[in-house]
């Protein structure tokens, strides 16, 4: 049985924004990776960034500074 726990998930409505965020997070040392948007956040499709919950403030700050749009930034229970 796969274990699950809460992660921070940041969703984007544009792939370009997801790519810009991925690059920026790597530069700023914010760990994580791109995943498909979990259904709790969107019944559609698209890309999101999965990271640890403690990075919420840091992620918000760097995205705002760079002017990168995001759609949602929520804790979501996901597989490890």
- Residues in the site for other proteins, rule: CB under 8 A? 12-20, 22-23, 34-36, 43-47, 69
Q: Which is nearer to other proteins, 17 or 59 (CB)?
A: 17
User: For residue 29, what are the contacts with CB-CB under 8 A and spacing of at least 6?
Assistant: none
Query: Shortest distance, CB of residue 67 to other proteins, whole angstroms?
Result: 9
Phi-psi region of 36 (alpha: psi -120 to 50; beta: other; left: phi over 0): beta
Query: Shortest distance, CB of residue 39 to other proteins, whole angstroms?
Result: 12
Q: Which is nearer to other proteins, 48 or 73 (CB)?
A: 48
Query: Shortest distance, CB of residue 21 to other proteins, whole angstroms?
Result: 10
Q: Which is nearer to other proteins, 13 or 57 (CB)?
A: 13
């Amino acid at each position: 049985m796969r274990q699950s726990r809460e992660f921070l998930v940041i969703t984007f409505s544009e792939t370009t924004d997801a790519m810009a965020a991925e690059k920026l997070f790597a530069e700023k040392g914010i760990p994580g990776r791109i995943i498909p948007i979990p259904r709790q956040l969107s019944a559609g499709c698209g890309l999101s960034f999965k990271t640890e919950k403690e990075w919420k403030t840091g992620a918000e700050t760097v995205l705002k500074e760079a002017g990168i749009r995001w759609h949602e930034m929520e804790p979501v229970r996901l597989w490890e």
